[in-house]
């Protein structure tokens, strides 16, 4: 392979920008480097590509563009800036297509904070059947199965998926927002969860 010095800096930046632009999900640094090395037949260091990505991020952050480059789930993705979310959401009609019901949001919150968790655990907290909500969350790829519990009947365990992280713009579960930022009337849910934990103790 050739040395990276033979590649014009702006040309390299353009290639990186194009890769991130076409990525449907956060593209990782290792995948960017591997793709560039194959397509340009040049060896690149992690440091060089990381510096270019940071430069690209600053370019969009400091410009009047409606787009920004964000780091989500250890990958990079172009997204619209917060002040334009309302217009984009309206245009794509996301509220109609992707809006989760209150029951589904409550179920998702329980899974996120108690994972891995069984359907029975969720139903004991909410007091109603969770079949439909879990099915909807699985269809939207916001949750996934995580094996089986070592209890009677070995029921399925559920956990949040990588799509959940991307959907809420999280890098790790440590960035998980408070219940009140996810679902309404959360005090009731939180109280039920605390009471459930107390009973288990």
Is the domain of 177 the same as that of 149? yes
Contact between residue 47 and residue 58 where contact means Cβ atoms under 8 Å apart: no
pLDDT tens digits for range 154-177: 999 999 998 888 777 777 777 776
Distance, in Å, from the CA atom of 198 to the CA atom of 35, rounded to the nearest integer, reads: 52
Long-range contacts of residues 6-15, Cβ cutoff 8 Å, at least 24 apart: 6/42, 7/40, 7/42, 9/52, 12/36, 12/52, 13/52, 13/55, 13/56, 15/39, 15/40
69 token code pair: 């480059």
Q: pLDDT value at position 126? A: 85
Report CA-CA distances (Å) from 38 to 34, 74, 96: 6, 22, 41
Q: Is the pLDDT of residue 90 over 60?
A: yes
pLDDT above 60 for 18: yes
Is residue 109 located within the same domain as residue 195?
Answer: yes
Number of domains in the chain: 2
Residue corresponding to tokens 């059947």: 129
Tens-place pLDDT, residues 106-158: 899 899 988 899 999 999 888 898 998 999 899 888 899 999 999 888 999 99
pTM, two decimal places: 0.50
Any idea what the CATH number is for the domain that residue 110 is in? 1.10.10.10
* Burial bucket for residue 110 (CB in 10 Å: 0-12, 13-18, 19+): buried
Domain boundary, last residue among 50, 66, 91:
91
Query: C-alpha distances in angstroms, 37 versus 33, 43, 49, 129?
Result: 6, 6, 11, 52
Instruction: Express each pLDDT in 27-75 by its tens digit.
Output: 999 999 999 999 998 899 999 999 999 999 999 999 899 999 999 878 9
Is 119 found in the same domain as 79? Answer: no
Is the separation of the CB atoms in 74 and 28 below 8 Å?
Answer: yes
Query: In the beta sheet, which residues pair with residue 42?
Result: 2
The Cβ-side half-sphere exposure at 133, using a 13 Å CA radius, reads: 21
Instruction: Select from 39, 64, 91 the last residue of a domain.
Output: 91
Which residues constitute the domain of residue 185?
Answer: 100-200
What Cα–Cα distance (Å) separates residue 155 from each residue in 102, 113, 132, 145, 148?
Answer: 25, 19, 17, 10, 5
- Same domain as 109, residue 34: no
């Amino acid at each position: 392979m050739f040395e990276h010095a033979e590649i014009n800096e702006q040309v390299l930046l353009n290639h990186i920008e194009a890769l991130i632009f076409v990525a449907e999900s956060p593209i990782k640094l290792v995948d960017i480097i591997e793709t560039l090395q194959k397509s340009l037949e040049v060896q690149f260091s992690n440091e060089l590509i990381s510096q270019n990505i940071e430069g690209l991020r600053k370019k969009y952050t400091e410009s009047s563009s409606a787009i920004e480059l964000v780091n989500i789930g250890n990958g990079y993705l172009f997204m619209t800036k917060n002040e334009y979310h309302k217009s984009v959401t309206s245009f794509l009609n996301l509220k109609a297509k992707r809006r989760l019901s209150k029951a589904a949001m409550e179920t998702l919150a329980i899974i996120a904070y108690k994972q891995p968790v069984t359907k029975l655990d969720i139903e004991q907290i909410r007091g109603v059947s969770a079949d439909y909500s879990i099915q909807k969350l699985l269809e939207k790829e916001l949750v996934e199965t995580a094996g089986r519990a070592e209890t009677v009947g070995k029921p399925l365990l559920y956990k949040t998926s990588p799509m959940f992280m991307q959907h809420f713009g999280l890098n790790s579960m440590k960035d998980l927002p408070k219940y009140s930022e996810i679902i309404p009337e959360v005090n009731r849910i939180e109280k039920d969860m605390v009471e459930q934990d107390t009973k288990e103790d």
